[in-house]
Every structure is written in C-alpha cells, then in structure tokens.
Amino acid sequence: MKTLLLTAVLLSVSTVALAEKIAIVGGKVFTGTAQGTLESATVLIDNDKIVGVSSGTSVPAGYTAMDATGKYVTPGLVGAYTQLGLVEVGMSAGTVDSSVSQLPMSNTGAAFDVSYAVNPDSSLMGISRVDGITSAATTISRTDYLFHGQGAVITLSGEAQPVLKPKAFVAVNVGNAGADDIGGSRAAVWVMLENAIAEVKDAPKALSATSEWHGINSRLDVNALRPVVAGNAPLLIHADRAADIRQVIAFKQRHPKINVVLVKGMEAWLVADELAGAKIPVIIDPEFNLPGGFDQMGATLANAGRLHEAGVTVAIGMETHNIRLATQHAGNAVAHGMPHDVALAALTVNPATIFGMSGEIGSLTKGARADVVIWSGDPLEVTEAAETVLIEGKVIKHTSRQIKLQERYQSFSDTPKASQYIR
Amino acid sequence: MNNTHKRLSIMMLCCCAFWLTACSEDKAAKTEQAAKVSIDKNPFPSRYTPLAGEPTLITNVTILDGIGNKIDKGMVYFADGKIVEIGETLSVPDGVRTVDGQGKWVTPGIIDVHSHLGVYPNPSTHSHSDGNEAIKPVTANVWAEHSVWPQDPGFGRALAGGITSLQILPGSANLFGGRSVVLKNVPNRTMQEMKFPGAPYGLKMACGENPKRVYGKRGGPSTRMGNVAGYRQAWSDAQDYQRKWDQYEADYEAGKNPKAPKRDLNLETLAGVLAGDIRVHMHCYRADEMAVMMDVMKEFDYQIYSFQHAVEAYKISDILAENNVCSAMWADWWGFKMEAYDGIRENVPMVHNAGACAIVHSDSDLGIQRLNQEAAKAWSDGRRAGIDIPQEDAWIWLSANPAKSLGIFDKTGSLESGKNADLVMWTANPFSTYARAEKVYIDGGLAYDLNDPQSWPVGDFELGQVGEGDSK
C-alpha cells in the first residue's frame, strides 16, 4: 500500500516536474489575496510563477491538470520566526550558527549576518518542506548582544541558493530576556536601543572600514542598521508585558519611519487597540498561555483572536525543528476565537507582508513564486497533512530523513499484533 | 500503597504476636528483644478528598470507553464518584442530573505519565526550579512530592485540557533522579491533598546525554558506559542493603535481638524497586540504550514500567513488547539533541502495532494541555503510513496504558463500572484541533466547566494579577 502510494508520488514527480504549465483543479483554495477563499477553484502555474486563481474547474489549453477535488489548496507556508538552516542539533552537537558569541567587530550585534550561514542541505529543510513549509524568516536566537544580527528570508527548496532576501530584518529583545543580557534592566536596554538608533541617524553617510568612528555601534553595526532606520528592513522587537509593548508603541511614535514588528507579545491583547492604531503587526505563538515570568502574567490562548478582532495583523509560526506544527498553533488560535481564514493568512501572506515579500511568497497572487500546497483536508486540523508540495512550480519529492527512517523500520510493525496491556 | 500498607500492617501484627508469645513463654531469656524496627512506607499520606458530585447521566454522546470500544450514541451514568454504567440506553433512578451531550464526545480523563508541574512550575524562576537534585548522579533518596508547588498555574491549565491524573517526575540530570508522585489534578493547597490515594511510587532513572553532560566534569559519569556502571553499582548496593535488612528480619524472627541496619534513604528506594513496590520510569531516547537497560533490568530482576520519551522505540518495538515495557512518547518532537535526532512521527502507532504498550506523554506545561491532539497526530500519521488503528484503540495511549504503567488501572483509566468517574465531555471529536474539553469530572465531581468561568481555576499566584480569571 505504502509502496504503491510512493510509486504513484514518484511518478507524478517525474511527469509533473516536466510540465511547464500546471492547473491545480477543483480544490478549496485559500488565495491569500483579495480573492479570499474559493470553494472550487483552479490555480494556474506557469513554470515557476503563479498565473492566477479562478473559480470553477476549467483548464485552459496548454495546462496539465492536477486534481485537487476534495482537497484544500494554500500558498506554501512561510515560517514567521525560525532558526532554519542555522541549526541541525542545538545541544552538545557542535557548531550552532544561530548562536553568536562575543566578537570585537560588533558592539551591538546588528552586524552579524545569517545569510552566510544558511545550509540548504540541513535535514530540517526536507522534514519541514514535506509538511508544507516552503519559505521562512531565519535568524540568530542566542547572543549577549542587543541586536540578534541581520536575519534572512529563505526558501526550503533545498537548492544551492536558499536565501531569498538577505539582511531582511533585525531583531531585538526588550523584555526580561533582553534586559537580562543588557545591563540586567529595562532601564539599560531601552537607553541602549534608543541611542544605537539615534547614532545611526546621525552617522556620516559614508562609513567605510577605515573611517574614524567612536560610537555605541561599531562601523559595521551602523551600516547594518541603516536599512532599519530607513524603514526598508523591519525591526522585530520581542516583548511580552503590556508595559513593554506600550514602550514599543512609543518607540514607533518616536521613529515613525522604522517598520516595527512585535514578536511574542503574550500580553499584546491588553494593548491591541494601540497596536492596531500604530500599525504594528505581531508574530506570536498563540499556544503560550502560561506566566513563565512576571512579564507574562496575562498570557492566554485568546491572544491571537483578540489581536485580530482589534485589527492587528497577526503572523503565526515561531519554531524551528517543528515549524511544521505552525498549522496546529494556528488551529488552536481558531479554537480560541480567531477566524479560520485569518489563521491561514497568519501562516502565509501575513509573514510575507511583514518581511516585505507579499508579492513573492505567501499568496497565490499573479507573479508570485509558485509555492503551493495541496492538503488532504483542512490544513489546521491535526489529522490532515500536506499531500503535494510545489516549490517554484515543481512538485517536490515526498521524502525526508524521517520518512526514510520510518520506511526502514516499517517492517517491524507490518504484521499487527494484539496490543498488550500490562496490569 | 494500600497493598503495601496492608502488608506492613500484617507484618507488624505478626511481630506483635511473636513478641507477646516470646515474652510470655520465655521470661528467662537472656536477651530480651527490643521493639522491632519497622519502616513506615507511607509517611506522607494522601489527604485527597473528592469534590462533591451528584449522580449524573450524560446522554446523546459518542463514547470511547478507553479500552477499545466505541458507542456512537450512548449514555454514561456515574454516581458516588464511580462509573455505574455506560451503554446505548440506560435506566437510571429518578432525580438524576442529566446532561444532554448532543454531538459531543465522552472519554476517560487523560493521564499524563510525564509532567514536571509543581517541580518546574511557572513562573520558571530559579527560586522555583526544584526538579533536579543535580548534586550527584544517584539521588534515589529525594522525592518529587517534596518539591511540588501546588500553586503552579499549570495544573489548572492541564485541567482545562482534560487531564485528570498525572505523574510528577524529578528531572533527568541524575542516573537515579528520585521518586515520582501521582497526583489527582484537582488543584489544592498542599501536595497531600492532591496525592492519588493508593498509587504506587515511581522511581525516575535517566539514560544517555543528560547525566553525562551534568557530571562529565564533576566526577562522572562522563560516558554512557559510565552511566551503566553507575546503575549496576547502585542496584548491587541495594541488594547488599536488602540482605542486611533480611538478616535483621530473620534474626528477629529467630528470637535474637539484632541491631537494625542504619536506614539509607537512597538504598531504601532502590530496594523498594527490587521488592516490586516502586515502579521504574526511565528517561531513555535511543534504541540501543533501551536494549541495554532491559538487560540491566533482567540482571537485577526488576521491572521497567516505562521508557520515557523513547524517541527510537520504533526501532525495537518487538523487544519492548517481549519485555513488557511501555514507551511514553511525544507525537513529533525531535532534533533538540543528538539522542532525539531520529525521532519520527509514526513512533507511537508503530510501537502500538508491534503489540507493545504505547503511551502519549507531554513532559511539557503546554503539551499537557492538548494531549488529545498529540494522540490525534500520531493516529493520523500512522494511517498515512498504512497503520490503521481505530480511534477507540488509540485512546488507550492517553488513559488505559498510562494508568497501567502507573499501577492505578484498577481505579481509573477507562469507563468501566466501578472505576473512578474520571472523565471528559468534549465539545467535538477530541481527535480534532477544534475540540475543547467542556466538562472535566474527577471522581464524579465537576472539576472544570468550559461554560462556567467560576469553575476556571485561579491559583493563589495568579490572584490579583493581570489576567486573573481570564479564559486561558
């Protein structure tokens, strides 16, 4: 049965991969665009790009049809906040590129650049890809510096050039964890952040490697922060406590050009209206509902739904090895009040928009990368799964290190035995 | 503990009788026997009292009884804290409270065999970090129940996820981490008021990376072979200790006046395992290490009741079945360390399909809130790999098998007549992401009601804080 299925999939790989024009026909399609969700629709793909989505099941001439009747079709999911490509095994297992230690070239951490470090052959790529994650934001998670370096947006295609957008954002933590790293207090971390930014605004236009410079930032930090100050690369600010988030909003008001994104935001629902007013989107894990510290007392599973209700743009997907569980996180947001189509947007078009890539990934809009997933059913149901994943218009092989391990040991349980119950 | 307690009482009765006889018949004996030293095996007894309940009939529900049966449109009747009957139609006395569960599902309460609630509570500050007595590799003398902080908000969150009982384990820093405790998930003021009456103690052991990482530069073990040497030496010491007590018993029985051995709390727990009173639950990821541990188990003649995490159980499901050892697993956690690198999504169904005992566990204050979803993922991943397990069988991973491995299946873990009325009514099929636990009954008392905010637990810690009483 399994072998047969696999053969069928492999066959479809070789046939479909050759097709230049594909029509995915008959599925329930979440477009991630103004078209919304269409009950029975056709997604047209020309080589590596989306042509468009239309209601109905007619296939234009020249397109190879791919049946998705009874299935759900979505854009490839965008991991909103990950360390993909930077870590294989985190603990006691050698180099971890998402962890950066002290180095004299940087004073504030902005200079570090993960685009040099992304490994497209990481086993996490295939394991996440077969479950529908086709691109992701990735960055440093552990450093003693103020900023967590310059993150990148990557594709999980496994191809030689994984970076879609280098220097795509810079992250900073102003909550308990950030304060612990910077002076042990918010009274230090905010002064440091404010002055690091002010310094970039005042810095000479040209700051070469040999320019004389005395600042909180190193020369490389200043250059790394210029796109942030100009509003071209978002500044991702981690904060949970409502009071911290109010500081984030005040920061945005002081620096209206900076594209501020709130990350984690466990108490964000308490200041949802203000966040909406300040047009600050939020990246969250909606399942966090416990007070891990005194800055998370208001944590609740209702966070995602309440933020949306107030008009805040929400992205979901903070994980690395199990970024594939972002669909479950979003499903639980739905179980606690977030509308279903909004939760799908939180996995796709919203993170794409946050990283300034809405026309390229995360939606089935004309001209976007043809990253498309056909699901067995509702993608947010834990019992459903990605059945066919296309990246840049090509059906990826349904294989991964985990699938190979499973197949290798399958024979041990091929003959079902009566389950044993010890007393 | 009931059995142990009974045995102890009988033993003491026998001793008294013997002592009296000895006194009356042989007053001229040269050596008069001192009072016999016996050890109280239950010095921290349960003070649990069930919530007040009332006879209740739930109608129109889909029932999974937890032992492989499904009733599509059935009824559940419980009274006096016990399941009376389940079936398609039941006749019950007049005046019984009736809950119409149209479209809803009823299952046994979920039992999590791996939790650190209370010992690694929220907030996760250093001052609350009480789960690992990481001072030396063998600390079978410590008991997790002495670290449990009952005000941990995690208990209430788990209750909202349908958890009715749970095992609190020490951490895995040590080869022998200490005793576990089984709790009823009814938040209360003290550990004793939550303690599951009559549940045997467990002993947490740990394989692999953790002990060698913690002790590698602190006198060892620093290798896996060092770990195994550590277990074997400790069991050997426990045998020696037991022989001293056996000798004391024998001498006393023979009318001598022996000096009781000095109590060693560490070896006392280990000897309790060898005597069959305490159940080993062992943190072990890799297949090869589990196989070695099952040999150690045979060498010293004890039973491992579960491997905890057992990320590679699927590689040796046949050996696990042969040795009657349960595997308590995540649905899909993997890769956070080398020994978790070979985790696969089909682990649970593959172990089940090989005839071995599969358990879905959490080891997480978040995961414990959604163990039904963890089982649902494993169930569907199995189906996609060609392992078709009915949902009514899969629920065994959440209640019956956990209860069996903990030694409480005679009391809970299934919806059978006479068992504790520990059950959950779900808003929908609990294999769906969107299902919520609507009513959670523990010993027949309504411990949580999704639709009644007054029933939502607010512990002392959350009182007067941001978010108090909010839906969590």
**For residue B403, what is the domain's CATH number?**
3.20.20.140
Please say if the pLDDT value at position A120 is more than 90.
yes
The CATH homologous superfamily for domain A1-76+364-423 is: Urease, subunit C, domain 1 (2.30.40.10)
The answer to whether the CB atoms of A289 and B472 lie below 8 A apart is yes
Q: Which of B357, B384, B409 is the last residue of a domain?
A: B409
Distance CA A298, CA A242 (A): 9
Shared-domain flag, residues B178 and B311 = yes
pLDDT tens-digit series, residues A25-69: 999 999 999 999 999 999 999 999 999 999 999 999 999 999 999
Percent of chain A with pLDDT over 70: 93
User: Which pLDDT score, from 0 to 100, does residue A14 have?
Assistant: 36
Helix (H) or strand (E) holding B56: strand B56-64
Q: If one looks up domain A77-361 in CATH, what number appears?
A: 3.20.20.140
User: Which pLDDT score, from 0 to 100, does residue A100 have?
Assistant: 94
Contacts of B5 (CB under 8 A, 6+ apart): B41, B42
Shared-domain flag, residues B31 and B150 = no
User: In chain A, whose CA is at the least distance from the CA of B379?
Assistant: A383
**How far off is chain A from B336, nearest CA to CA, in Å?**
5
Give how far Cα B302 sits from Cα of A384, B238, B239, B289, B325, Å.
Answer: 42, 12, 11, 17, 11
pLDDT tens-digit series, residues B160-214: 999 999 999 999 999 999 999 999 999 999 999 999 999 999 999 999 999 999 9
Please say if the pLDDT value at position A415 is more than 80.
no
Mean pLDDT of A377-393: 98
Instruction: Name chain B contacts of A402, Cβ cutoff 8 Å.
Output: 334, 343-345
Q: How many CA atoms lie within 13 A of B462 on its CB side?
A: 29
Shared-domain flag, residues B275 and B374 = yes
User: Which pLDDT score, from 0 to 100, does residue B7 have?
Assistant: 43
Please say if the pLDDT value at position A23 is more than 70.
yes
Instruction: Name chain B contacts of A412, Cβ cutoff 8 Å.
Output: 314-315, 317-318, 350, 354
pLDDT tens-digit series, residues A266-279: 999 999 999 999 99
| Residue A17's pLDDT band (cuts 50, 70, 90) | low
B248's tokens: 């004391």
Does B89 fall in a domain? no
Domain extent at residue B282:
111-409
User: In chain A, whose CA is at the least distance from the CA of B464?
Assistant: A297
The answer to whether the CB atoms of B434 and A334 lie below 8 A apart is yes
Percent of chain A with pLDDT over 90: 90
pLDDT tens-digit series, residues A252-298: 999 999 999 999 999 999 999 999 999 999 999 999 999 999 999 99
State the ipTM, two decimals.
0.94
Does B85 fall in a domain? no
User: Mind giving me the DSSP string for A132-178?
Assistant: TEEEEEE---EESSSEEEEEEEEE-S--S--EEEEEEEEEEE-SHHH
Does B382 fall in a domain? yes
User: In chain B, whose CA is at the least distance from the CA of A376?
Assistant: B384
Please say if the pLDDT value at position A16 is more than 60.
no
User: Which pLDDT score, from 0 to 100, does residue A6 have?
Assistant: 45
User: Mind giving me the DSSP string for B72-131?
Assistant: EEEEEEEETTEEEEEESS----TT-EEEE-TT-EEEEPEEEEEE-TTTS-SS--GGG--S
Please say if the pLDDT value at position A418 is more than 70.
no
Give how far Cα A103 sits from Cα of A106, A221, B210, B324, Å.
Answer: 6, 12, 30, 54
| Residue A421's pLDDT band (cuts 50, 70, 90) | very low
The CATH 3.20.20.140 portion of chain A extends over: 77-361
The CATH 2.30.40.10 portion of chain A extends over: 1-76+364-423
Give how far Cα A311 sits from Cα of A31, A274, B69, B127, Å.
Answer: 20, 10, 46, 39
Mean pLDDT of A237-242: 98
Residue in A92, A293, A302 nearest the CB of B209: A92
Shared-domain flag, residues B30 and B116 = no
User: Mind giving me the DSSP string for B294-341?
Assistant: HHHHHHTT--EEEEEE-TTGGGGHHHHHHTT-EEEE-SS---SBGGGT
- Domain total of chain B: 2
| Residue A4's pLDDT band (cuts 50, 70, 90) | very low
**How far off is chain A from B248, nearest CA to CA, in Å?**
33
Residues of chain B with pLDDT under 50: 1-25, 28
Does B32 fall in a domain? yes
A7 touches chain B (CB under 8 A): no
Start-to-end CA span in chain A (Å): 35
Place of tokens 């499903």: A331
Neighbours of A366 (CB within 10 A): 14
The answer to whether the CB atoms of B434 and A300 lie below 8 A apart is no
The whole-chain average pLDDT of chain A stands at 93
A93 touches chain B (CB under 8 A): yes
| B-interface mutation test, from A4, A306, A383, most B Cβ less than 10 A away | A383
Helix (H) or strand (E) holding A402: helix A401-409
